[in-house]
Amino acid sequence: MILNNRKLVYISFHRPESKGVSNKIKGIIKELKSFGYDVDLVNPHNCKSITSYFNEVRLILRSDARFIVFRTLNTTNIFLSIIFFVARLQGRFLIMDVPTPMKSYIHELLMEDCIKWKKYIYILLCYLHGPWFFWIFNRVIQYGNESAFFRLGNKNRFLLVGNGIDVDSIRIREKKYKWPSSEVVLVGVAQVRFYHGFDRIIKAINYWNNTEEGKKNSIIFHIIGGGDKICIDELKMLVSKFNLEKFVYFHGSQSLGYIHNYYSKAHFAVSSLGLYRLKLKDASVLKAREYCAAGIPFIAAGEDPDFKNDIFFRLTVSNDHCIDDIVSLFRSLPSKIGIFKSEEIRNYAYNNLTFKVKLQQMGFVNFKQLYNDDEKS
């Protein structure tokens, strides 16, 4: 079979209602097409059995695509190993996209509230997957550092990059926030999970309120988004316990326009502050990139491959359960309001976070630019 060097098949099992995943995949495919690739998306979401899913993925062996991108399924990867092994023997270039490191996915499984025997079967499948499933692939895209076990034999195969976003799909915020003011306004947008660590902000606000400085400059926190009901209920109970109903507000799932309005009214945003709960020291948090595209400075924990420590608009706190760093940050926030230019933050997103930049980092050839340059020369 003669393979087409400009043909690519993208395989991802995801629910269409999963907006974050769907938007990312749409953005990647859109940019790949702008590079000159002919892209087919395979999403076996509607398959009702492992057999039908297997057969759907097996169709790639009949394709003339030179490139296959597979968004990992973690626990069921092992059942697809023979397909990808044959695809590699056919001379295809195989790329695996791993949104969450295996070590963190396993930790998430341990934290899940589900039947124990199911949980342990899933974890067993992850370890059976081992580092050897990665060996089949030419390149493995990681967004956070993997454990030593899963890195075994994959040193030259793993490529650590940050998540990309469609910057143009996010409006730059307007300057609607009030300053000077007796209130510093924070906004956290997420499908709320335990690893977002919003409880750390709530506990810090409770501590801050009992200080003299806190009485002069109160911290207001708006949480926008649905997510894990148990987690949200626990946050609400924490707010009730500390009597913070006038300081912490839950808005639930809202439209993009509603979110944009709060980006414009808030002084700062809040990214994930609980990465340590996934045993992560670094991660490529998608919401941090959306904040950057909107031009709003944000509070974050841990390291990020796209934001070095000297990025002034990413305000870093400790990646642990302590709130001391957050309280200290609250103390300095009033002096930081107004020094961040939304246009400057957004320009950083254009220069570092677009899908075009990410595809170039992954090694994809921009055929259209290449041929244009050849014609010019």
Place of tokens 């709530």: 202
Helical (H) or strand (E) element with 371? helix 367-376
Query: What are 258-282's pLDDT values in tens digits?
Result: 999 999 999 999 999 999 998 889 9
Q: What is the DSSP letter of 3?
A: P
Residue 67 contacts residue 90 (beta carbons within 8 Å): no
Nearest to 185 by CA among 261, 255, 284: 261
Rounded CA-CA distance 331/130 in Å is: 46
Rounded CA-CA distance 377/371 in Å is: 10
pLDDT number for residue 53 = 77
Rounded CA-CA distance 36/31 in Å is: 9
Mean pLDDT, the chain, rounded, equals 91
Same fold, 4-160 and 168-352: yes
Residue 287 burial by Cβ neighbours in a 10 Å radius (0-12, 13-18, 19+): buried
pLDDT number for residue 377 = 45
Query: What are 99-148's pLDDT values in tens digits?
Result: 888 988 888 888 777 777 788 888 898 888 889 999 999 999 998 888 89
pLDDT number for residue 374 = 52
Taking the domains of the chain in order of start, what are their residue ranges?
4-160, 168-352
**CATH 3.40.50.1000 fits domain 168-352:** no
Q: What is the mean pLDDT of residues 166-194?
A: 94
Query: What are 310-340's pLDDT values in tens digits?
Result: 799 999 999 999 999 999 999 999 999 988 8
pLDDT number for residue 269 = 98
Q: Which fold has domain 4-160?
A: Rossmann fold (3.40.50)
Residue 51 contacts residue 45 (beta carbons within 8 Å): no
- In this prediction the pTM is 0.88
